[in-house]
Structure 1
Amino acid sequence: MNFETVIGLEVHCELTTNTKMFSNAPVSFGKAPNTMINQVDMGMTGTMPVLNKAGVEYALRVCHALDMEIDELVCFDRKNYYYADLPKGFQITQDRRPIGRNGKIEINVDGKIEVIEIERLHMEEDTAKQLHFDDYSLLDYNRAGIPLIEIVTKPTIRSGKAAAAYLEKLRQIFLFTEVSDAKMEEGSMRCDVNISLRPYGSDKFGTRTEIKNLNSISNVQKAVEVEGKRQEKILLEGGSVIQNTMRYDEDKKETTIMRAKGDAVDYKYYPEPNILPIRLDPAWVKQIKNNLPEMPDKRVLRYTKELGISLVDANILVQTKQVSDFFEATIQYTKHAKFVCNWLLGEIQAYLNKENLVITETKITPEYLAKMVDFIQDATISNKQAKVVFEILMKEGKDPEIIIEEKKMKQISSPAELLVIINGVLDANEQSIEDYRNGKDRAVGFLVGQIMKASNGQANPGMTSKLLIEQLKERIS
């Protein structure tokens, strides 16, 4: 029997507001445990939550980017459960009326466009972070109360590849709407996977399991594939899949049971009594939509259609908004968009990877990158010389023109100037001319080296080779 995989994803995204969702404690990462908290975060008696307007705005940005229906009334509910990382004994969330419904994302899986339907987007507060040791656990409440949005898909994903493509596209949206840094390794973007199997042709869902605590997009894909095989084996052997919460063991490449899976009814939702419903101003909602930057898909289309950049390169350019914005700024100073793209994805990306930096942490500017590209294109400097200029540019942010002058790099591209140098070298190397006459091609390489030496490395290599061959042919004719 063949089975169809049915997948739904729940993605939590921490919002990079200045303060938490219901208190004025700062939002931070990497600070000393339990230093970024206040009485509201700790659920102390008599404290009252106050809704963070910026958190609502950030949620609306993502709603617009996902083409969602927006609820005009913001309502919150209490999700009741007792757990060590929940200081109040309940979580303020949205159950009955999420701020966004019925969105969609288009993804590309092996060249085929698929539409992933999104059921809802709701706002809530994050929980504390648990730190587990051999025989005890500690709690860091710095994370408690940080604004979250949770995005829940409909069960329309059918493969691990599609799940990964969806998450990558969603991550781009978080970055381009500037609501989060979306770093899965730091927990600011987290994904839970719901997966079940059913016979092909069946419209009835199988029993699902949930895989939690996945810390990378690649692990989501691997976990889906592994859990799918585990469920298939159970079903083919005549067994039944049990509704459990699973974890993915990256080392063993297998999923294991964490605990029995609860249902929503166990949480006993009811309206949050301390936050009254808030009606959104339609003009404010529209203003947020109008202020959104151009999204990745539209940029890719423009890069390929208007700038002649390949689809592969265009998709890499928009993986982060920082690189895409840098590209946008650079091409305002030069007409050589393709070459700017090549430098950004080649030498610059290699440098960033090596130094573990993002482009905004370097000294290079869009104007100076454009200037360097123009100098390469008009043969002021060679590609080899450009690499020297580039290193200084990244570390010091110095004007390429000044670097070229200081390093005496400016290429000699004037045929008249080059011919003077070439003929001087030929006059001093009669044996090399004779070698060339006798078919010894290495003579050309030797002569080019002598010309470069005589010009202090400033002779244009391409033009030098061309003129040298012409002069050699004249001398042996």
Structure 2
Amino acid sequence: MATMTALSPAILAKYQPVIGLEVHVQLLTASKAFCGCVNQYGGEPNTHVCPTCLGLPGALPVLNRRAVEFAVLAAKAVNCEIRETSVFSRKNYFYPDSPKGYQISQFDKPIAENGWIDVLDAAGAPKRIGVTRLHMEEDAGKSIHDGFADSASRTYIDLNRCGTPLVEIVSEPDLRSADEVFEYLTKLKEILLYTGVSDCNMEEGSLRCDANVSVMLKGAKEYGTKAEVKNVNSFRYIRSAVEYEIERQIGVIEDGGRVVQESRLWNNAEGRTFSMRSKEQAHDYRYFPEPDLPPLVVGAAWQAEILSMLPELPEARRERMIAEYEITAQDAATLTATREFADRFEAAAKKAKSPKRVANLIQSELTMRLRLAGLELEQSPVSLEGIVMAADLAESGELSSKMLKQLLDTSFAESKDFPAVYERDKPKQISDVAAIEAMIDEVIAANPNQVAQYRGGKKTVAAFFVGNVMRLSKGQANPAMLNELVVKKLDS
């Protein structure tokens, strides 16, 4: 692994990182942006193509209405203002995976601008990151540099991805650390997944991020020279790449050098960025309005129709669930991790005697066992319906905490849902008043000091007697009945 001279905390503290992100998001439409070809990852190379996405003479683009709807949904989800009339442009450049010699994009009149995403800064305080713009464009093809016997001397081109509908979401340079970058991207991905406009699968290229990183002395008024870190395929690697790039640039300046404006790639194996190409002279893409597409008009009526499809977004949903179900912020964060799981929880919670107890069981009992088993929530052998049943039994006093834990352990050990295990191994609970009173009398007689403490005003000692009776009954005493009888006996 490449090494870089470690910089002291004092040197690092002299500088202020400045980071902006450009996130490309593939839209989850059935067909491509400007033709009827299937919009699907994979397939035999160059089979999801037609004269339009291949850029053959005479083939004209036709805008995908669903792509526009998804772009508007994404834009509103990140609090952007929708431009009623936007314009498509040709972004001209030559590269082998772009057969037309240009990319249909948006330039000076994008579909949306002036949005924001709230994150937490290093101190845990809310911070608003501006979203400069969200614009629509089409994706290019893919250059394949390996996987063939002659890869050392040839590059292959797969044009299946040509014409895939994208939105590019450009942030303001408001991010100040690699951790803030990670937080912003995590929030953005969560929001996009909730809207359903993309699957955000980074391994398949559905979400790609470039980070523009610069540093300046604290208190300076002008930003430093930025380097663009491109094509990093996970949020964890992006955080590492940004951390490295910040230290690299500070080291260059401290050594008396000058940061060069360039594109850099992240090498995860070596843990460093390396130069890809200089950007000292900015590209002149010679943008001009796309002559084959009219201006895109998304009027008030169409906007209202699209916005009716916008679901409740994660932050709003968490706040509502905290209030409605009296759950903690941590519970709400777990339960809203995905829109699908939040939907399933709410459907189940509405049938439960105590939604709060359902949430507590998920957070305390279910997630712990999933973590130990290395499973995700969606892979749990215990369904949410099973958790509701367990919560209801605990709420009614038919199951003690110990019994509940034992049954859940069995469910996970045997990969069986809770209802089936409960029906088979249903514990015999002692609900006979005389039997429970006899055990309480035995424990009271054996613990006169604790009895004196209770009757002296230390009422919390009642839990001591409940615990001892529960042990004496081998966890089978009816919890609700036991608690009531213990207090009655101690007060008599």
- Shorter-normalised TM range: 0.7 to 0.9
Which residue in the other structure is 1:29 paired with? 41
Separation in structure 2 between the aligned mates of residue 28 and residue 417 of structure 1, nearest angstrom: 69
Which residue in the other structure is 1:286 paired with? 304
Asked if 1:208 corresponds to 2:226, the answer is yes
Asked if 1:94 corresponds to 2:106, the answer is yes
Q: Which moved more, 1:149-158 or 1:133-142?
A: 133-142
* Kept in 2: contact 1:9–1:192 (CA 8 A): yes
Supply the AA of the counterpart residue of 1:26: V
Give the 3-state SS of the residue equivalent to 1:162 in structure 2.
helix
Which residue in the other structure is 1:415 paired with? 432
Percent sequence identity over aligned pairs: 36
Map 1:309-388; keep pairs closer than 5 Å.
309-345=327-363, 348-349=366-367, 359=378, 366-381=384-399, 382-387=403-408
Separation in structure 1 between the aligned mates of residue 117 and residue 348 of structure 2, nearest angstrom: 29
Supply the AA of the counterpart residue of 2:68: V
Which residue in the other structure is 1:439 paired with? none
Separation in structure 2 between the aligned mates of residue 347 and residue 147 of structure 1, nearest angstrom: 42
Which residue in the other structure is 2:74 paired with? 62
- 1:113–1:25: structure 2 CA closer, same or farther, 3 Å change rule? same
Asked if 1:119 corresponds to 2:135, the answer is no
Map 1:216-365; keep pairs closer than 5 Å.
216-261=234-279, 265-345=283-363, 348-349=366-367, 359=378
Deviation at 1:287, TM superposition (A): 2.6
Separation in structure 2 between the aligned mates of residue 208 and residue 112 of structure 1, nearest angstrom: 27
Deviation at 1:118, TM superposition (A): 0.9
* Kept in 2: contact 1:25–1:36 (CA 8 A): yes
Asked if 1:141 corresponds to 2:162, the answer is no
Deviation at 1:464, TM superposition (A): 8.7
Deviation at 1:49, TM superposition (A): 1.2
1:145-186: CA deviations, max 9, x gaps? Answer: 111110001111111111111111111110111111112233
Deviation at 1:264, TM superposition (A): 5.7
Separation in structure 2 between the aligned mates of residue 238 and residue 298 of structure 1, nearest angstrom: 49
- 1:137–1:299: structure 2 CA closer, same or farther, 3 Å change rule? same
Which residue in the other structure is 2:96 paired with? 84
Asked if 1:154 corresponds to 2:172, the answer is yes
* TM-score, length-scaled by structure 1: 0.82
Separation in structure 1 between the aligned mates of residue 301 and residue 189 of structure 2, nearest angstrom: 28
Separation in structure 1 between the aligned mates of residue 381 and residue 64 of structure 2, nearest angstrom: 35
Deviation at 1:411, TM superposition (A): 4.0
1:392-412: CA deviations, max 9, x gaps? Answer: 99767x9x2x6533x041542
Separation in structure 1 between the aligned mates of residue 105 and residue 89 of structure 2, nearest angstrom: 5
* TM-score, length-scaled by structure 2: 0.80
Deviation at 1:377, TM superposition (A): 2.8
Q: Tell me, which stretches of 5 or more residues in structure 1 are unaligned? A: 427-434, 437-444, 471-477
Q: Which moved more, 1:32-41 or 1:363-372?
A: 363-372
Give the 3-state SS of the residue equivalent to 1:150 in structure 2.
strand
Separation in structure 2 between the aligned mates of residue 193 and residue 98 of structure 1, nearest angstrom: 21
1:4-33: CA deviations, max 9, x gaps? Answer: 111110001111111111111122224343
Corresponding pairs, count:
448
Deviation at 1:98, TM superposition (A): 0.7
Separation in structure 2 between the aligned mates of residue 131 and residue 349 of structure 1, nearest angstrom: 41
Supply the AA of the counterpart residue of 2:143: Q
Deviation at 1:387, TM superposition (A): 1.1
Supply the AA of the counterpart residue of 2:82: I
CA RMSD of aligned residues (A): 3.6
Deviation at 1:259, TM superposition (A): 1.4
Give the 3-state SS of the residue equivalent to 1:174 in structure 2.
helix
Which residue in the other structure is 2:22 paired with? 10
- 1:350–1:22: structure 2 CA closer, same or farther, 3 Å change rule? farther
Deviation at 1:414, TM superposition (A): 1.2
Separation in structure 2 between the aligned mates of residue 296 and residue 345 of structure 1, nearest angstrom: 18
Separation in structure 1 between the aligned mates of residue 117 and residue 470 of structure 2, nearest angstrom: 57
Supply the AA of the counterpart residue of 1:273: P
Give the 3-state SS of the residue equivalent to 1:4 in structure 2.
strand
